[in-house]
Structure 1
Amino acid sequence: MTLSLDYAALSDVGRVRRNNEDSAYAGPHLLLLADGMGGAAAGEVASAAAVQVIRRLDKPGIAGPDMMEALAGAVHRANERLSELVEEDPEREGMGSTVTALLFDGEELGLAHLGDSRAYRMRDGQLYQLSHDHTFVQSLVDEGRISKEEAFTHPHRNLILRVLDGRPDSDPDLEMLDVRAGDRLLLCSDGLPDYVSDQVIATSMADGTPDSVVVDLITHALEAGSNDNVTCIVADVVETDPASGTRPQLVGAAAELAQGSTGPATSSLAAQGHGGTGSGGGGGTVGLDPEELRYAPRPPKRFLWLRRLAVLAVLLALVLGGGWFAYSWTQKQYYVGTDGDYVAIFKGVDQQFPGVDLSSMYEKQTLEVDKLPTYSREQVEGTIQADDLAAARQIVTELQRAADECAAKPTPKPSTPPATVKPPVSTPPKPPVTTTPATTPTGTPSNGAVNPDDCDGVR
């Protein structure tokens, strides 16, 4: 015979807190608990939103390995929903929720877990914790730095490391679990295990119906001084068909928001006629709400793709800005070169880049390149850099002067030797004075004269 679940769910606002940030859902195929956090009204919004999205898994037909994919997809959709809620109201920034879900196909259980709410299984009188806390204290226990007993009283036992918060890295733990008739399952928010030991939980789980057990567990938490909301789901795995008339149960913030409640949450124990074990109003906490600090140390990672896009935009702006600055600098430079057969002044730098023209002709001169002395012509053809436009024009002036001197140089005529030549009177020659004139950038001597030999190449 196919196994089924006999379940009960109950949530209590507690004796201290003014609002209930826990939400829970129990149905024939799904047990789900979410503990919201973030202060103000954001905690209940987060948990209610998570439950409203994930509860859609409570339907037949999801079985075997498909349960893992279905759970992961539902948790991710709930995470996206939280992100949307923050975009709608930036005041909700920082809110989050735990998620602990058990999906049941009649033969196996699929577990999805994120945060510090817990899932337990009672089998053969032994209580087993199915989920693994994503808390700072649990990490110390895993590393062997403290014992489980020390973790129970550790001052930072509520510091949570992973939650459902609308950020891209909110991935749950996923696991397939065996199940058999006689198993008793428990899902609870941290308001129970933070104040009630596993031994007391096991004793309460050993007897009674799911309805009586949820009342007993919440009563133990309140009597132990729990200052948090307390929510429990207890389900028995039975070998009978689901009882006729069994309907899903929705409790906590999800139920209150669904009903349009705007006032403070009242005690579920009192509201459901289980006596006055839980106080609905209660006094407020002094100072900052500790729920606001549960995962405050986590660095913000919301909208990671936007942050990366912004960084890319900044880098692109720097590259483009640097490129524009370099281009602007080149357009303030001048040099003297050739444009066809004539000397010209160019604006920019004499460099070539694909698709970018770094220079343009500024002034074309009437001076022909072929009229320049050899040295000056070679300099112009290789380009002569100038500090500014005035300097470039001064270079052209010097080139023009050099060309004029070469043009004024007389062309030697061939001489006819005389019929008779008298031998010259020999006189001791004077030693020549050898000097090397310094040249200017245009190839003219420093004394203003053009080297006669350079003019030989003038055409």
Structure 2
Amino acid sequence: MTLSLDYAALSDVGRVRRNNEDSAYAGPNLLLLADGMGGAAAGEVASAAAVQVIRRLDKPGISGEDMIEALAGAVHRANERLSELVEEDPEREGMGSTVTALMFDGEQLGLAHLGDSRAYRMRDGLLYQLSHDHTFVQSLVDEGRISREEAFTHPHRNLILRVLDGRPDSDPDLEILDVRAGDRLLLCSDGLPDYVTDDIIATSMAEGTPDSVVVDLITRALEAGSNDNVTCVVADVTEGGGQTAPQLVGAAAELGQGGTGRPEPTIEVRRSGEGGAGGGTAEEDLEHLRYAPQAPKRFRWARRLALVIVVLALIGGAGRFAYGWTQQQYYVGTDGDNVAIFQGIDEDIPGINLSHIYERQSLQVEQLPRFRQDALEQNIQADDLTDARNIVKELQTIAEECAKAAVPPTPKPTPTPPVTKPVTPGKPTTPVKTTPVPTTPTPTITPGLPTEDCGGLK
């Protein structure tokens, strides 16, 4: 019997963000999620463009191994579209998006994945992650250097190594997966798994309908303090007739680029310390959170706000205090060919220098993957000096691992024992000089980062 999908999609801007950079789509033959990045460089444009291109695969007639070819082609076309958008508006340089897609032919699933969004499958009460995170922290887990529990709280768990960014080397993971009636599928942006453990996700996935599950998962992420957009797509594999009306949510729907997204259900979340009489409704709380977000760390709009405060303070006569604040800020950037820690903020005010080199590192920019080089060119914000030094250590580790992967060590040759002539009894022996015959060394390869993560070194 041919199987079908019963699905639901939901996206929430979250407690902090002003705009939603997530986009998602659910249809009878395709489940798709994209998490944009780039902030002012139009992360929402990137995710919406990726979804609008790839969602064209939601049609019958593509099955088996053909799904892999179709997914690969669609992801590459989406990548080309991002490149076109940057050419149209150079201000978008640096934008990118994750892509996680599950194509369904009624018998199998085709998976395409790039970035740190995730795909899960629940079967017989057990939750299994189908996708593999393309992050630096995941590479540490793969090498056994940290545990999954340590990765959950690692300060740099969101450093992505591979992403859809308009460059020609953005190739996704591709895989054919089995599927059967009773399976429940989940696609989610990192706003969920960065704050909610797999055990809690499994608990939510175990009961309810797809509609109730997406609401419950996003609610749990918000209650756990997620400061990111949160988007989920949940689908049940059934033997009966499935849905036919597609659903489009997040930036792709908000930017008005077509689609038939349906109204999203209200998520009832009550913050700690509220409730009872005079506490306000959950819906009012969400509206307040959407339009009056709390200031997060490291967000570009917050730094711009800080710059405005600095300028006003200088005009008002409080320049010394404002300048002192800027000198308590740190970021990691480039000084010529080398990585450097800067003190201050990277903003220009005529006649005033708000940043300077604090520590120049021996690490060269060209030793890093291209994606890391691009991040350094735009500067990596730090919470303080200690955090800045930790960022440099992480970059140094990446460079060392890439160097190991690119140039295997040269082993030492094993000398052959000297050869001596046999001695004939009764005859005087004459020492014979012998020359050791060198053996051909067998090269060894030291494991490091996957080759594709160090492609920027070429």
Q: TM-score, normalization: structure 1?
A: 0.60
Q: AA paired with 1:61? A: G
Aligned to 1:90: 90
Instruction: Tell me the amino acid that sits aligned with residue 242 of structure 2.
Output: P
CA contact 1:12–1:268 (8 Å) conserved in 2: no
The 8 Å contact of residues 47 and 97 in structure 1, kept in 2 or not, is answered as yes
Measure how far apart 1:298 and its partner are.
Answer: 2.2
- In the other structure, the counterpart of 1:250 is 248
CA distance in structure 1 between the partners assigned to 2:292 and 2:371 by the alignment? 29
Tell me, in whole angstroms, the C-alpha distance in 2 between the residues paired with 1:189 and 1:55.
Answer: 17
CA-to-aligned-CA distance 1:144-180 (integer Å, 9 cap, x gap): 0000000000000111111000001000000000000
2:287 matched to 1:289?
A: no
The answer to whether 1:112 aligns with 2:96 is no
Task: Call closer, same or farther: CA 1:237–1:218 in 2, change over 3 Å.
Answer: same
Return the offset for 1:191: 0.1
Check conservation: 1:2, 1:241, Cα contact below 8 A. Answer: no
> What amino acid maps onto 2:209 in structure 1?
T
Partners in 2 of 1:82 and 1:272 — Cα distance?
Answer: 36
* Cα 1:16–1:67 shift into 2, 3 Å: same
Contact 1:118–1:131 (Cα < 8 Å) also in 2: yes
| Secondary structure, counterpart of 2:28 in structure 1 | coil
Deviation (angstroms), 1:271: 8.6
Match of 2:373 in 1: 299
> Which residue number corresponds to residue 198 of structure 1?
198
In the aligned structure 1, how far is the partner of 2:29 from the partner of 2:248?
14
Map 1:93-172 to 2 at 5 A.
93-172=93-172
Percentage of identical aligned residues: 81
Number of aligned residue pairs: 292
Partner SS state of residue 298, structure 1: helix
1:282 to partner: Cα distance: 3.7
- Quote how far apart the aligned CAs of 1:299 are: 2.9
CA distance in 2, matches of 1:85, 1:158: 25
Say which SS state the counterpart of residue 5 (structure 2) adopts: strand
Residue type at the aligned position of 1:250: L
SS for the counterpart of 1:50 is helix
**Distance change in 2, residues 1:286/1:211 (3 Å):** closer
Deviations 1:260-293 (A, max 9, x none): 9xxxxxx955499996374322425346427999
Q: Is the 8 A contact 1:15 1:281 kept in 2?
A: no
Once residues 180 and 233 of structure 1 are traced to their aligned partners in structure 2, the CA distance between those partners, rounded to angstroms, is 18
Q: Against the structure 1 CA distance between its residues 286 and 129, is the aligned structure 2 distance closer, same or farther, given a 3 Å change threshold?
A: closer
Which residue of structure 2 lines up, in the alignment, with residue 222 of structure 1? 222
SS in 1 for 2:70: helix
Cα deviation digits, residues 42-76 of structure 1 (max 9, x gap): 10000000000000000000100000000000000
Which residue number corresponds to residue 186 of structure 1?
Answer: 186
Paired with 1:102 and 1:111, the residues of 2 have a C-alpha distance of: 5
Tell me if structure 1 keeps the 8 A contact 2:41–2:91.
no
Asked if structure 1 preserves the Cα contact closer than 8 Å seen for 2:41 and 2:95, the reply is no
Is this contact kept in 1: 2:41–2:94, CA < 8 A? no
Kept in 1, the 8 Å contact 2:41–2:93? The answer is no
> Which moves more between the two structures, 149-158 or 272-281?
272-281
* Alignment-derived partner of residue 405 in structure 2: none
State the shift of 1:297 in Å. 5.3
Q: Secondary structure at the match of 1:299?
A: helix
Q: Could you say if the C-alpha distance between residues 272 and 254 of structure 1 is closer, same or farther in structure 2, counting changes exceeding 3 Å?
A: farther
Structure of larger gyration radius: 1
- Counterpart of 1:280 in structure 2 is 290
Residues 215, 267 of structure 2: 8 Å contact kept: no
> What amino acid does structure 2 have at the position aligned with 1:73?
G
Residue 300 of structure 1: how far off its partner (Å): 4.5
Runs of 4+ in 1 over 4 A off after TM superposition: 271-275, 290-293
CA gap 1:195/1:290 in 2 versus in 1, 3 angstroms: farther
Change beyond 3 A, Cα 1:290–1:138: farther
Contact 1:24–1:254 (CA under 8 A) maintained in structure 2: yes
Whether the aligned pair in 2 keeps the contact of 1:17 and 1:282 (CA below 8 Å) is: no
**Equivalent runs, 1:2-21 vs 2, <5 Å:** 2-21=2-21
Using the TM superposition, name which of 273-282 and 117-126 deviates more: 273-282
Structure 2's unaligned 5+ residue stretches are 270-280, 304-330, 332-368, 376-458
Determine the C-alpha separation between the residues in 2 that align with 1:221 and 1:143. Answer: 29
Is 2:55 the partner of 1:55?
Answer: yes
Paired residue type of 1:248: P
SS of match in other structure, 2:170: coil
1:183-212, CA deviations, whole angstroms, 9 ceiling, x for partnerless residues?
A: 000000000000000000000000000000
Cα RMSD of the aligned pairs, angstroms, is 2.6
